[in-house]
């Protein structure tokens, strides 16, 4: 493993300011916004609070082997990532941080700093379980469309077929080792219900009762797999509730 260079070599401008927080403050758009860096890694990390209570502080991290920064913006209830991104432009980094702090919409943050990647999730300040479920489905559909694996189309077809089925769309979706599963509660306390579905690299699909099993059957199409899963859903499922 290659030893990373001293951060001061990759980030001399940051080192000259004493910390990533101080370097960001030199960008005019962040005037008056509190930015902090940890004493243990002042050149590598920075945190920017948001004026919105349903946003966690924006996390900024410097790369070790090349000059680049990553951001991560999450919400506090589920810890779900709302936006991320990578850039080597300190000015764009500061613009994204300012917009996050000021409570700009996610779309407006993306417009202010084009390097920002929106995950597809949207903010649900009132923690309505139905909206959290809708947000998670939107995230999973976008994630499936952005995958670069050879079986991306097979997996995306499974996600879209499951979302098109009302009985499954009403449940909170999540994945475990790329197996699509369902819960009757949101994160953080998932309550698993029904079978799991898997997309195979050969273009077929499996349905099972366990973690990554296919004991309920193998199917040629995503729609067949979804129909089989629906037949094995327990009866009497109520609306999705908040996970404790």
Summarize pLDDT for 115-136 with one digit per residue, the tens.
999 999 999 999 999 999 999 9
Decide which of 3 and 81 is more confident: 81
Q: Tell me phi and psi for residue 129, to 5 degrees.
A: -60, -35
Residues 100 and 23 in one domain: yes
Strands 192-199 and 205-208, by their bridges, are antiparallel
Place of tokens 């940051």: 14
Are 112 and 135 in the same domain? no
| Tens of pLDDT, residues 140-182 | 999 999 998 888 999 999 999 999 999 999 999 999 888 999 9
| Residues 25 and 51 occupy one common structural domain | yes
107 and 205 assigned to the same domain: no
Percent of all residues in the chain with a pLDDT value above 70, rounded to a whole number: 100
Whether 66 has a pLDDT exceeding 80, the answer reads yes
What mean pLDDT, rounded, does the chain reach? 95
* Inside any domain, residue 205: yes
Same domain, residue pair 28 and 103: yes
Determine the number of helices (DSSP H) and then strands (DSSP E) in the chain.
9, 11
Strand partners, 206: 198, 218
Domain boundary among 83, 118, 153: 118
Q: What is the mean pLDDT of residues 78-90?
A: 97
Cis peptide bond upstream of 206, omega within 30: no
pLDDT value, residue 12: 97
Q: What angle do CA 67, 72, 74 make, to 5 degrees?
A: 175
57 with 139, same domain?
no
What is the predicted pLDDT for the residue at 176? 85
Structural contact between residues 20 and 45, judged by C-beta atoms closer than 8 angstroms: yes
Q: Looking at the structure, do residues 79 and 141 belong to the same domain, yes or no?
A: no
Which structural domain, as residue segments, surrounds residue 28? 7-118
pLDDT at residue 217 greater than cutoff 80: yes
Ranges of beta strands (E only) in 78-115 are 81-87
Structure tokens at 201: 């690299």
Is the pLDDT at 104 greater than 90? The verdict is yes
- Closest among 103, 188, 171 to 180, alpha carbons compared: 171
Please identify which residue in the block is written with the tokens 């991290």: 61
244 pLDDT higher than 90: no
Structurally, the chain folds into a number of domains equal to: 2
- Whether residue 211 has pLDDT greater than 80: no
Q: Is 95 in the same domain as 58?
A: yes
Backbone angles phi, psi at 223, to 5 degrees: -65, -35
CA distance 16 to 237: 59
Q: Is residue 73 included in any domain, yes or no?
A: yes
HSE-up of 156 (CA within 13 Å, CB side)? 13
Same domain, 85 and 150: no
Calculate the CA dihedral of residues 146, 149, 150, 154 and round it to 10 degrees.
-60
Task: State pLDDT tens for residues 21-51.
Answer: 999 999 989 988 999 999 999 999 999 999 9
Q: Please indicate, yes or no, if residue 123 is contained in any of the structural domains.
A: no
Count the residues in the chain: 244
Report percent pLDDT > 90 for the chain. 90
114 lies in a domain? Answer: yes
State yes or no: pLDDT of 1 exceeds 80.
no
């Amino acid at each position: 493993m290659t030893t990373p260079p001293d951060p001061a070599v990759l980030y001399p401008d940051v080192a000259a300011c004493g910390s990533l927080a101080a370097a960001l403050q030199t960008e005019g758009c962040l005037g008056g916004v509190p930015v902090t860096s940890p004493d243990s890694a002042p050149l590598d990390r920075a945190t920017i609070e948001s004026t919105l209570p349903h946003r966690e502080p924006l996390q900024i991290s410097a790369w070790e082997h090349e000059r680049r920064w990553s951001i991560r913006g999450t919400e506090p209830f589920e810890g779900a990532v709302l936006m991320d991104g990578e850039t080597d432009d300190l000015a764009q980094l500061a613009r994204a941080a300012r917009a996050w702090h000021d409570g700009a919409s996610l779309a407006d943050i993306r417009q202010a700093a084009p390097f920002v990647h929106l995950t597809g999730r949207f903010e649900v300040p009132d923690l309505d379980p139905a909206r959290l479920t809708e947000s998670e489905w939107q995230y999973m559909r976008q994630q499936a469309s952005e995958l670069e694996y050879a079986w991306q189309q097979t997996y995306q077809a499974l996600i879209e077929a499951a979302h098109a089925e009302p009985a499954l769309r009403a449940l909170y979706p999540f994945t475990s080792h790329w197996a699509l599963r369902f819960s009757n509660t949101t994160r953080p306390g998932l309550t698993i219900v029904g079978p799991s579905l898997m997309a195979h690299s050969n273009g077929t699909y499996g349905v099972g009762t366990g973690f990554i099993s296919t004991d309920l059957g193998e199917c040629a199409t995503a729609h067949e797999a979804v129909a089989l899963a629906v037949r094995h859903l327990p009866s009497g499922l109520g609306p999705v509730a908040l996970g404790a």
